Amino acid sequence: MSERTLVLVKPDGVSRGLVGEVISRIERKGLRLAALELRTVDEATAKQHYAEHDGKSFFNDLVEFITGGPLVAIVVEGTRAISAFRQLAGGTDPVEKATPGTIRGDFGLEVQFNLVHGSDSVESAEREIKIWFPAL
Ligand code: DAT
Ligand code: MG
């Protein structure tokens, strides 16, 4: 079943020059790009995107980090796109949970700087795509 998912190459991924690497892995997996934009996000949008984490110890640092520089927002589509991209990304902690061969496992070292975001469910994907690409 074809799905859409919201992917972010976060500011650390952009500043480290990993945008092409991430897009290449998405395309080689067989997923398609439906929308893509380089953008610097404001605090309100960042808080909306990460609303589920509001109140957690890392929330303020997360918002500061994600607003701290340009990121690349992408809508990715294809069969089981949500799970497929989460698999490409690897676990949240690039060392504890991610495995080599994943984006985070290959390029990440710290949980705060784990390079990419991918929606975690159909509901999250719909909610997040509305935030980032309301016209889609
Ligand atoms: P994911 O990005 O794998 O969906 P998440 O939704 O649980 O993970 O958390 C969102 C982001 O918040 C995550 O990519 C990095 C940051 N984060 C999560 N847990 C953290 C922690 N314990 N300390 C610092 N940052 C954390
Ligand atoms: Mg998440």
Task: Note the ipTM here.
Answer: 0.98
> Which pLDDT tens digit goes with each residue over 94-119?
999 778 999 999 999 999 999 999 99
pLDDT value of position 133: 98
Q: Which of 12, 49, 117, 129 is catalytic?
A: 117
Domains within the chain, CATH numbers bracketed: 2-132 (3.30.70.141)
Count H helices and E strands in the chain, helices first. Answer: 7, 4
Strand partners, 113: 110
Question: Is 49 designated active site?
Answer: no
pLDDT value of position 48: 98
**How far apart, in whole angstroms, are the C-alpha atoms of residue 14 and residue 7?**
13
**How far apart, in whole angstroms, are the C-alpha atoms of residue 85 and residue 102?**
10
What stretches of the chain show up as alpha helix (H) in DSSP? 11-15, 19-29, 43-49, 59-66, 81-89, 103-107, 122-132
DSSP label of 55:
T
Gap from CA of 135 to ligand 2 centroid (Å): 23
Would the annotation count 104 as a binding residue?
Answer: yes
> Which pLDDT tens digit goes with each residue over 42-86?
999 999 999 999 999 999 999 999 999 999 999 999 999 999 999
pLDDT value of position 1: 82
Q: Cα separations (Å) of 71 from 12, 16, 25, 39, 96?
A: 8, 11, 17, 5, 25
pLDDT value of position 97: 78
Residue 23 — very low, low, confident or very high, per pLDDT cuts 50/70/90? very high
Residue nearest to atom 8 of ligand 1 (CA): 92
Would the annotation count 92 as a binding residue?
Answer: yes
Q: Is this model's pTM higher than 0.95 or not?
A: yes
Residue 58 Cβ inside 6 Å of ligand 1? The answer reads yes
Q: Is a pLDDT exceeding 90 seen at residue 90?
A: yes
